[in-house]
Amino acid sequence: MSSPSLFSLHGRRILITGSYRGLGLAIARGLAQAGATVVLNGRNEEGVAKSVEELRTDQLDAHGAAFDISDEASVKDTLERIRKDLGPLHGLVNNAGIQRRHPLHEMPVEDFRLVLETNLTAAFLTARHVVPDMMQRRSGKIINMCSLMSDLARPTTGNYAAAKAGLRMLTRSMAAEWASHGLQINAIGPGYFATEMTRPLKEDPEFNEWICGRTPAGRWGDPDELQGVAVFLASDASNYINGQIIYVDGGLTAVI
């Protein structure tokens, strides 16, 4: 039986982007419960502060950093401030993401670019300013939040699918370059989870029936069900895993 300490995150500082609500907040809570000092992020300063206070009320070590992950100057300045105030990061979860749904032939170019910049380019920008400390220490964990759409496609989500497929390959590229420096870079591929973002889909009877019928587990995921895999990938338990994507989808990608 594995020792509980194998999954301990005590003494580790982890930034989770896009984490003041939804899947990001659930992951941040799970990491903090495992002992990590977590830094929540989002553009909404009030929302970040509220979620930080929520975690602190539960006696968890949480801090906030409201900044635009798609603005490199903002990323660099904020990470330097985190380093000065808390110390260098041991982990990064690139979770922030948005959707702008349109048929491809009607999609505004600005919406295509915005989704790629937020869901893909921002992960590159954040990681590139986090890894120098990790490389020097020869230790660090990066978790990229991919998606079912890293492999599958649906109508009206071409920009999102392109970004998430790119993030899967960026994960592999990061592993190819940084694994030799003692880092582990992996990805999580969530299936359909019940969040504020997906509420309109869940409340659509036809779509809800399709998801529950298509998913072997027969239901939507609960955001807290991502905590275990996040803790695993952020801990020493995953020290020889690199460049992989773990789907947490109730079995959806396992069936035709």
Could you write out the three-class secondary structure of 111-170?
HHHHHHHHHHHHHHHHHHHHHHHHHHHCCEEEEEECCHHHCCCCCCCHHHHHHHHHHHHH
Q: Is residue 192 annotated as part of the catalytic site, yes or no? A: no
Radius of gyration for the chain, computed over Cα atoms and rounded to the nearest angstrom: 18
pLDDT of 41 > 60? The answer is yes
What is the number of other CB atoms lying within 10 angstroms of the CB of residue 95?
27
Does the CA dihedral 193-145-12-82 come out positive or negative?
Answer: negative
Tens digit of each residue's pLDDT (9 = 90 or more) over 44-94 = 999 999 999 999 999 999 999 999 999 999 999 999 999 999 999 999 999
Active-site annotation holder among 160, 192, 240, 247:
160
The whole-number pLDDT of residue 163 equals 97
pLDDT of 1 > 70? The answer is no
pLDDT of 96 > 70? The answer is yes
The model's pTM is 0.96
**Identity (one letter) of the amino acid at 105?**
H
The whole-number pLDDT of residue 2 equals 47
What are the DSSP calls for the chain, one per residue?
---GGGG--TT-EEEESS-SSHHHHHHHHHHHHTT-EEEEEES-HHHHHHHHHHHHHTT--EEEEE--TT-HHHHHHHHHHHHHHT---SEEEE---------GGG--HHHHHHHHIIIIIHHHHHHHHHHHHHHHHT-EEEEEE--GGGT---TT-HHHHHHHHHHHHHHHHHHHHHGGGTEEEEEEEE--B--TTTHHHHT-HHHHHHHHHHSTT-SPBPGGGGHHHHHHHHSGGGTT--S-EEEESTTGGG--
What is the number of other CB atoms lying within 10 angstroms of the CB of residue 196?
8
- Angle in degrees, 0-180, between the axes of helices 122-137 and 72-85, rounded to the nearest 10: 30
pLDDT of 9 > 80? The answer is yes
What span, in angstroms and rounded, lies between the C-alpha atoms of 185 and 145?
11
pLDDT of 112 > 60? The answer is yes
